[in-house]
Amino acid sequence: MQHQHIYNKDGKQLCCTEEEKIYTNAGAKSLIEEGHNNHEKGDNHNHSQEESYSIWQQYQPAIISFIMLLVGITFDNYIIQDYFTGYMRLAWYVVAYMPVGFPVINEAFETLKKGDFFTEFTLMVLATVGAFSIGEYPEGVAVMLFYAIGELFQSAAVNRAKSNIKALLDVRPNIANILRGGIFEAIKPEDVEIGDTIQVRSGEKVPLDSQMLSGKSSFNTAALTGESKPKTISKDEIVLAGMLNLDKVIELKVIKKFADSSLARILDMVQNATARKAQTELLIRRFAKIYTPIVFFLALALVGIPYFVVGNYVFSEWLYRALVFLVISCPCALVISIPLGYFGGIGAASRHGILFKGSNYLELMTKINTVVMDKTGTLTEGVFEVQEVVSSVLEKMELVKILAALERQSTHPIAKAIAEYAKNDTSQYQASEVEEISGHGLKGIVNGKTALAGNTKLLQKFNIPYDPTIDDIVETIVVIAIDNQYVGYVLIADKIKEDAVIAIKEMHQNGIKQTIMLSGDKNAITQKIAKLIGIDTAFGDLLPEGKVQKLEALKQDKTKVIAFVGDGINDAPVLALSDVGIAMGAMGSDAAIETANVVIQTDQPSKIATAIKIGKATKNIVIQNIILAFAVKFIVLILGAGGLATMWEAVFADVGVALLAILNAVRIQRMNF
């Protein structure tokens, strides 16, 4: 049975079961899973107990083996006795070996069944069983024990690296309080339809992308954008799923289904990010597949060849050297620490509101030397306001209302500004047969008359004469023609983003040699903004295909690694064409976000430099780990082959180096960018 909470319009609960009353306070968890609710007292306590028990189970084998190994070594070296010998001694160390050894033996067996012999599991089993065969029982147990401890530390490090993403997954809202018959009842967000009215109380998460119906409220957007400062959202503005309502009971109108919400897209991107591997990561994986069989056969050669060239050949001595060689050669330090480094980088980026769709793009960010940017919505706020209405033919408000009837068919920020200026009073004007002429504007029928609204190129396209002095206006204007007659224009103003200047400066400081702005806006205003911000080169009056042509021309220079930053539907082709496509995610179009490789949830251009910094820091850590692993392994391999390194040095070269590499990899999550 599915339980439902019922509320009135003020957010007060009307009825519920005794069991459900526990969960009515703001911030209480609603456990909706697999299509049904499962509310039970003490879930958190039970979960905590289960988690503690799970950790104990995870570490228990290593603890048992460690204690038994210490007891065995004590009897071997510090207690004079005659019973801890022979089969008794062997049995003790076998029992000490099995808690940590059995899982590895099982893994080795499973990989052997799949035809994969050369794995780290096989190497560890051969090395430790070999140590037992020549009587080195403590060392055989120690190698497997420290290998198991290394795996535990690796697991802990991976869990730590996942913590940012787990925190992001935790913002998923569990219920939506939907208005039905004058009351609000709780249902799954997946069941809410576009246009439904939902209620969000103080301390609750917004379940779906919506439009604010109430006056205003303050929201914590940290889970989506990484921005700790609360954001105030007013009536008719957009509220995104995952935002936390901080103030009062509010009502919202749903504008997207849950599967299409910003939150759902973010979760999908982050969860699938690790599927796209960086070139360094792929190279190491390929290297490990070649490297492991080579060292295995070298170990065999280390046992066999000396028989023919060494006068006083002792099999057990050379077998010991070969076993040391096998332990040292295990590639786990590289195989685990490098993916962990990239995963940590993706996690660090998500904490700053930057979502990478794969570690390959994290690596590619370090190579970018040219950043090409859209203007509106990327470097400017994209929040336009009507500043002036000019017409010598019609009354100003009549012109605005005719224009607004047409522009209501568009989602462009300028169209929204005009519709807002008309104050929704367009009842006497109806637009039909509206079509968008890409890069020019809109054409439609308003009250039986043909109306055109857009830039001056639109009038030129239809050979409609207009006042040539308007070509000298730097600001953005929308010209209007009715029945092939120019009737006036509306002047629109946009605002440069607060961090735009800092963004360009930091890009140059982080290795970007050239910044370029491409805009469909008038070239005069494009050049003006470029100069104010500090852009190196700017091009205006560009149609969508013009942006593509400019980027294709830039790509002719093979020395350029290009990132394009945009937010609009028209930017999707350029985002796809660039080496790294970066979309502004908070207000960006779905097409831009889907096409991009990197999404900036805060809509701040300064995050571009942050993404580059994180990419470079990640790459540095990966290179450090590669050098550390190869250097130590090479030195100890030489010493082991020469009989100068024992199994204990081999353990350090394998497990010790892996632990150092892991600790270095997780460092990125503590860095400030």
In terms of Cα–Cα distance, which of 341, 369, 362 is closest to 671? 341
Determine the Cα–Cα distance for residues 289 and 335; give it in Å rounded to an integer: 10
**Helix axes of 137-169 and 657-666: crossing angle, nearest 10 degrees:** 10
pLDDT for the residue numbered 52: 55
**DSSP H stretches of helix in 239-278:** 262-271
Q: What is the DSSP letter of 206?
A: P
Determine the Cα–Cα distance for residues 621 and 161; give it in Å rounded to an integer: 14
Neighbours of 226 (CB within 10 A): 20
pLDDT for the residue numbered 158: 62
The pair of structure tokens assigned to 80 is: 């004079």
Answer CATH for 385-493 from 3.60.15.10, 3.40.50.1360, 3.30.70.20, 3.40.1110.10: 3.40.1110.10
Could you tell me if 669 and 344 are in contact, meaning their C-beta atoms sit under 8 angstroms apart?
yes
Could you tell me if 338 and 345 are in contact, meaning their C-beta atoms sit under 8 angstroms apart?
no
Q: Does pTM top 0.95 for this prediction?
A: no
pLDDT for the residue numbered 15: 41
Among 374, 494, 567, 571, the active-site one is 374
Determine the Cα–Cα distance for residues 586 and 646; give it in Å rounded to an integer: 58
Q: 248-277 in b/e burial notation, b at 16+ Cβ within 10 A? A: ebbbbbbebbbeebbbbbbbebbeebbebb
The pair of structure tokens assigned to 319 is: 């077998």
Determine the Cα–Cα distance for residues 125 and 80; give it in Å rounded to an integer: 32
Helix, strand, coil percent values for the chain (each to nearest 5): 50, 15, 30
Could you tell me if 648 and 628 are in contact, meaning their C-beta atoms sit under 8 angstroms apart?
no
Extract the runs of DSSP E, i.e. beta strands, from 511-560. 514-518, 537-539
Question: Which residue type does 618 have?
Answer: T
Burial class (CB in 10 A: 0-12, 13-18, 19+), 620: middle
pLDDT for the residue numbered 535: 95
Extract the runs of DSSP E, i.e. beta strands, from 456-594. 476-482, 485-493, 514-518, 537-539, 562-566, 580-584
Cα Rg of the chain (Å, integer): 33
Burial class (CB in 10 A: 0-12, 13-18, 19+), 327: buried
Contacting residues for 495 by C-beta, under 8 A, at least 6 apart:
380, 381, 383
pLDDT for the residue numbered 172: 59
Q: What is the DSSP letter of 658?
A: H
Determine the Cα–Cα distance for residues 510 and 205; give it in Å rounded to an integer: 37
Q: What is the mean pLDDT of each run of 10 residues along the chain (673 residues)?
A: 40 38 29 32 45 70 93 89 88 95 91 82 83 86 83 69 53 79 86 91 87 88 62 86 85 87 63 59 72 83 88 86 79 73 82 83 92 89 82 86 84 78 72 84 89 90 89 84 92 86 95 93 86 94 85 92 84 86 72 78 90 93 87 81 76 77 80 80
Could you tell me if 13 and 5 are in contact, meaning their C-beta atoms sit under 8 angstroms apart?
yes
In terms of Cα–Cα distance, which of 422, 412, 540 is closest to 490? 422
Beta strand 598-600 with 580-584 is parallel
Could you tell me if 330 and 654 are in contact, meaning their C-beta atoms sit under 8 angstroms apart?
yes
Let me know if 374 is a catalytic residue. Answer: yes
Q: Return the bridge partners of 370, or none.
A: 514, 562
pLDDT for the residue numbered 7: 40
Extract the runs of DSSP E, i.e. beta strands, from 302-342. none
In terms of Cα–Cα distance, which of 98, 94, 104, 96 is closest to 151? 104
Determine the Cα–Cα distance for residues 66 and 49; give it in Å rounded to an integer: 25
- Domains of the chain, by residue range, sit at 6-43+174-257, 385-493
Q: How many CA atoms lie within 13 A of 368 on its CB side?
A: 33
Answer CATH for 6-43+174-257 from 2.70.150.10, 3.40.50.300, 2.60.40.10, 3.20.20.70: 2.70.150.10
Q: Return the bridge partners of 6, or none.
A: 15, 185
